[in-house]
Amino acid sequence: MKKNITILHLFLDDKFFDLISEFFDSLDGVENIYCFYNSNKKFQFKYIKRSDKINLIHDYKKYVSLFSDSKIDVVYVQALSYRFYKYFKYISIEKKIIWWSWGYDIYNSIGFYSPLIKLDLYKHETKHSRCVPTLTNISKWLYKLAIVIACPLYLNNRRKIVSRIDYYTPVLAYEYELLKSSCSYFKAKPFMLKGGPSIHQQVALVYRERPGNIIVGNSLTYENNHLDVLDVLANCSVKEGQSYVFPINYGDFPKSVLKKRAKELDAPLVWLESFLSREEYFALFDKVTHAVFGVIRQQAMGNIFRCLSQGIKVFLYEDSIVYKQLKLDGYHVYTIDDDLKGDALQHPLSFEEATQNITLYNNLARVKADDSKNEFENLINEVIHEWRVGM
């Protein structure tokens, strides 16, 4: 009788893999198979550091055969990219499929097709900038049109894929009900609703009483609503020694436009344009006391939780999914709409607010780690029970 379950991981070359694989490797009763397909025999991972644990496959037939291999019990999908759709036809029906959603896979879509969850992601200035008939915007419009022409069955394929999912893990618990109410063919059971696979890491309180730097957004994407945020920041005052920090090492918003508009701010500007290691990037937060994230959908959660765990004062739009979840969880967070004005950036969180945020973060980290392992143990037992019933 088989006592363990074997999980085949479906993933992209992304910075999250290293931490997530550590969690899966720590599970008892689980054998993990990390395989990655790329036809280019000279391919090298850009973000993944622990590539030594990955079997890099260049033969497509060999790769897709894994999805029907009898020794595979669970296929774990790390973000449901449309590029993964073609693999689902090879997954035999008895295998469980777990979808860990990162956000873009439910809020974004390809071409002009509607996303699984429709939200108004853009504020006024950003929305207008996306409609300006520049060469770049026209090229994007034509590209989206080409996708619709090339993929006429996309919506039908997506329906089949999403309806095949057995378990669903969001980043924010709120998103499970949101997807359930928005998508009639979504039937997956909730799984690890507290935010996905995680290893327990406690954080000590380091309180910053004096105002420090302000981090703005997490990338150069339109979803950060930089133009609208800059309009608000232009009416805020800061103290000498404070700087604005802009992480812009990826995204398709015009960098020159952002830099030109940011010159209106009355403070030094720091532009993070190259990719930094996780350690290098988060070391910058040691001098940050305020953070402004203009995202409406779930996005930048690694940055936001880092801020909450460091006693940094976070500003979000009031209609943001992230703001709604964090307020529901009891965090002290502030709104861009009403709270970000005047000298707001000169006043860090109070000691009591910072303490509560860090306590909530530590409790969440502990619960996530414990519950994650417990839920996988339950899944193992469920799969083993089905084997026995089917014998």
Q: Of the given ranges (24-33, 107-116, 142-151), which has the lowest mean pLDDT?
A: 142-151
Rounded CA separation 21/199 (Å)? 10
Tell me the average pLDDT across 128-146: 76
φ and ψ at residue 216, rounded to 5 degrees: -120, 110
45 Cβ neighbours under 8 A, 6+ residues apart: 13, 36, 51, 54
Identify the helix (H) or strand (E) that includes residue 195. Answer: none
For 87, left (φ over 0), alpha (ψ -120 to 50), or beta? alpha
Contacts of 366 (CB under 8 A, 6+ apart): 200, 202
More confident call, 98 vs 389 = 98
Q: Which fold has domain 5-123+156-197?
A: Rossmann fold (3.40.50)
Query: Which residue type sits at 36?
Result: F
364 or 58: which leads in pLDDT: 58
Position 149 pLDDT exceeds 80: no
Does the fold of domain 213-364 match that of domain 5-123+156-197? yes
| Residue in this structure with the two tokens 């074997």, named with its chain if needed | 6
Domain range list for the chain: 5-123+156-197, 213-364
> What pLDDT score was predicted for residue 391?
43
Of 97 and 137, the one with more pLDDT: 97
CATH superfamily of 213-364: Glycogen Phosphorylase B; (3.40.50.2000)
pLDDT digits (tens, 9 = 90+) for 227-284: 999 999 999 999 999 999 999 999 989 999 999 999 999 899 999 998 888 789 889 9
- What pTM, to 2 d.p., does this model score? 0.86
Asked if the model's pLDDT at residue 10 lies above 50, the reply is yes
Q: Look at residue 125 and tell me whether its pLDDT is greater than 50.
A: yes
| Spatial separation of the C-alpha atoms in residues 67 and 87, rounded to whole Å | 8
Closest C-alpha among 98, 72, 90, 75 to residue 4: 72
144 vs 122: CA distance, rounded Å: 18
CA 294 to chain centre: 15
Helix/strand/coil for 205:
coil
- Are 214 and 288 in contact by the 8 Å Cβ rule? The answer is yes
